[in-house]
């Protein structure tokens, strides 16, 4: 049976855990050769082994998205081991915020932009020559519901996620004539391992988990797998006339007002 990403070479940044892991594993099941790019070697090797054990084709490359040289090395290893990339999922991200924007340090500002926006651009810039040569390509950038609505106490994270939409739309317009599509996937609350660990440190983990889930009309948060399938749609030919768009997958959270 033909997979939706047969013959494709996909890079998934932040692919060792959470949403990125779910995307990497699904892409492999759909026939893609996958590069898992992440700073976490132990988890990255684990994901790679799991894919290869199921007859998939994957490599892990330890990658610091905040360092252009590290990105360049990762793309080089992808080309050498898997082939020229035709799909890029810019999933790697850094979550940090402060209650008072005036208290955000220059170090915090530069670090979060280095990963969430500059790193996203550097990864895109590194794969674009291959996509342009092939005359096709799909880039999926991970935005957020924070890309559109400001929630107090989430500075400067929300600023970077607004920037993701600008980057997505700019690249889509510039490279659309060359059959390179660029879209954003914007999740709501997702029960990633990081989120679950954070809740476990609170006094009432189950209560907080239910409270967060109840913010959504579906009365629950998403699983990582529920973000992987929309990412697959954006990456494959099923969305071939879709570019410069932001696919919001938030359980209906943004559809209603609450104070």
Residues annotated as catalytic are 157
* Secondary structure of residue 84 in the 3-state scheme: coil
Q: By the 8 A CB rule, do 209 and 190 touch?
A: no
The H-assigned helical ranges of 54-204 are: 68-81, 106-113, 119-134, 157-175, 193-200
Place of tokens 């609450």: 258
Cβ neighbours, 10 Å, residue 196: 13
Q: What kind and span of H or E run contains 89? A: strand 87-90
Distances (CA, A) of 112 to 35, 97, 193, 235, 252: 23, 9, 20, 26, 27
Element counts in the chain: helices (H) and strands (E): 9, 9
The encoded tokens of residue 236 equal 């494959």
């Amino acid at each position: 049976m033909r997979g939706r990403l047969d013959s494709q070479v996909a890079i998934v940044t932040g692919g060792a855990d959470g949403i990125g892991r779910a995307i990497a594993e699904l892409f492999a099941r759909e026939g893609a050769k996958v590069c898992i790019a992440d700073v976490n070697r132990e988890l990255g090797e684990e994901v790679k082994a799991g894919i290869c054990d199921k007859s998939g084709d994957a490599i892990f490359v330890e990658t610091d998205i905040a360092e252009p040289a590290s990105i360049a090395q990762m793309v080089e290893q992808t080309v050498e081991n898997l082939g020229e990339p035709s799909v890029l999922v810019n999933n790697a991200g850094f979550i940090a915020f402060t209650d008072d924007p005036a208290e955000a340090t220059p170090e915090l500002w530069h670090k979060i932009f280095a990963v969430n926006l500059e790193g996203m651009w550097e990864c895109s810039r590194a794969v674009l020559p291959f996509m342009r040569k092939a005359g096709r390509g799909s880039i999926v950038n991970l935005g957020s519901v924070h890309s559109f609505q400001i929630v107090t106490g989430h500075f400067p994270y929300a600023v970077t996620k607004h920037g993701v939409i600008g980057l997505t739309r700019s690249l889509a317009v510039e490279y659309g004539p060359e059959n390179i599509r660029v879209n954003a996937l914007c999740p709501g609350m997702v029960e990633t391992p990081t989120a679950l660990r954070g809740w476990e440190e609170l006094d009432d983990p189950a209560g907080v988990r239910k409270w967060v889930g109840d913010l959504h009309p579906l009365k629950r948060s998403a699983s990582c797998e529920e973000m992987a399938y929309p990412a697959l749609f954006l990456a494959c030919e099923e969305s071939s006339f879709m570019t410069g768009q932001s696919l919001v997958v938030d359980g209906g959270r943004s559809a209603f007002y609450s104070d």
